[in-house]
Chains A and B, each alone.
Chain A
Amino acid sequence: MRVNRRGVLGFGMGGLALRGLMGGLGPALALSGGAARAQTAVALQLSWLHSVQFAGSYLAQARGYWREEGLEVSLQPGGPNAPVEPPVVSGQALVGISAADYTAAAVAQGAPFRILAVAMQKNPFAIASLPANPVRTPADLPGKRIGMALANMPVLKALCALNGIDAAGIEVVPTQYDAAPLLAGQVDCLLCWATDLPVAMAVRGIEAVTMLMADHGYALHSQTYIATDEAIASRRAELVGLLRGEARGWQACRADPDAALALTLESHPDAGLEAAVQALQLDRQLPLMVSDLTEAHGFGWFTDETVAANIRTLALLGREVSPDLWDRSLLEEAHG
Chain B
Amino acid sequence: MSGRLLVGLLLLLLWEMAARTLAGTHLLAGPVDVAGWLFQHRGLVGRALAVTAGEAALGLLLGTLAAVLLAALAVLAPRRVAAVISLLMLFLFCLPLVATGPLLRVLWGPGLGPQVTLAALAVTFTSYLALLVGLRAAPPVWLDLVRSYGRGRLSELWHVRARGALPYVMAGLQIAAPAAFLGALVGEFTGAERGLGLLVIRALRELDAPATWGLATVAAGVTVAAHAAIAAVGRRLQAEPPLILAAAPGRLEGPLPVLAALALGLFLWAGAMEAAGLSPFFAKRPWDVWAFLFTDPEAMAHRAELALALAQTLRVAVPGYLAGLLAGAGLAALVILAPRAEAAVLPVAVALRAIPIVTTAPLLVLALGRGPAGTVTIVAVMIFFPTLVACLQGMRQTPRAVLDLFESHAAGRGARLLHAQLPAMLPAFFASARMAVPAAILAATTAEWLATGTGLGALMAVTASTSAYGMLWSATLVIALAACLAWGALGLLERAVLSRTAAEQLA
Which A residues contact B (CB, under 8 angstroms)?
1-6, 8-9, 11, 13-15, 18-19, 21-22, 24-25, 43, 49-50, 74, 76-83, 85-87, 89-90, 92, 102, 105-106, 108-111, 149-151, 173-181, 183-184, 186, 196-197, 200-201, 203-204, 269-274, 277
A272 contacts B107, C-beta separation under 8 Å: no
Say what secondary structure dominates the interface of chain B.
helix
Residues of B within 8 A of A181 (CB): 366
Residues of A within 8 A of B469 (CB): 109
Cross-chain contact of B207 among A13, A43, A83, A179 (Cβ < 8 A): A179
A86 contacts B102, C-beta separation under 8 Å: yes
B467 contacts A25, C-beta separation under 8 Å: no
Stretch with Cβ within 8 A of A (4 or more), from B148-156, B198-206, B404-412, B479-487: B198-206
Answer whether residue B80 sits at the interface, using C-beta atoms and an 8 A cutoff.
no
A90 contacts B468, C-beta separation under 8 Å: no
Closest to B59 in A: A14
Closest to A108 in B: B467
Residues of B within 8 A of A108 (CB): 467
B25 contacts A184, C-beta separation under 8 Å: yes
Say what secondary structure dominates the interface of chain A.
loop
Q: Give the docked Cα–Cα distance between A6 and B198 (Å).
A: 25
Which B residues contact A (CB, under 8 angstroms)?
24-27, 41, 44, 47-48, 51, 58, 62, 97-98, 101-103, 105-113, 116-117, 186, 188-194, 198-199, 201-208, 211, 272, 275-279, 281-282, 361-362, 366, 370, 449-454, 458, 461-462, 464-470
Residues of B within 8 A of A81 (CB): 97-98, 101-102, 186, 189-190, 464
Q: Give the docked Cα–Cα distance between A180 and B366 (Å).
A: 9
Closest to B447 in A: A176
A177/B193 contact (C-beta < 8 A), A11-B107, A81-B98, A87-B105 known: no
Q: Give the docked Cα–Cα distance between A100 and B117 (Å).
A: 32
A274 contacts B206, C-beta separation under 8 Å: yes
Residues of B within 8 A of A179 (CB): 26, 207
Q: Give the docked Cα–Cα distance between A79 and B358 (Å).
A: 15
Cross-chain contact of A89 among B186, B204, B281, B362 (Cβ < 8 A): B281
Nearest CB in chain A: distance from B437 CB, A: 23
Q: Give the docked Cα–Cα distance between A181 and B450 (Å).
A: 12
Q: Give the docked Cα–Cα distance between A105 and B466 (Å).
A: 5
Closest to A23 in B: B111
A151 contacts B466, C-beta separation under 8 Å: yes
B467 contacts A83, C-beta separation under 8 Å: yes
Q: Give the docked Cα–Cα distance between A196 and B207 (Å).
A: 11
B464 contacts A83, C-beta separation under 8 Å: yes
Residues of B within 8 A of A9 (CB): 107, 272, 275-276
Residues of A within 8 A of B44 (CB): 269-270, 272
Most buried by A among B98, B272, B277, B462: B277
Q: Give the docked Cα–Cα distance between A150 and B465 (Å).
A: 12
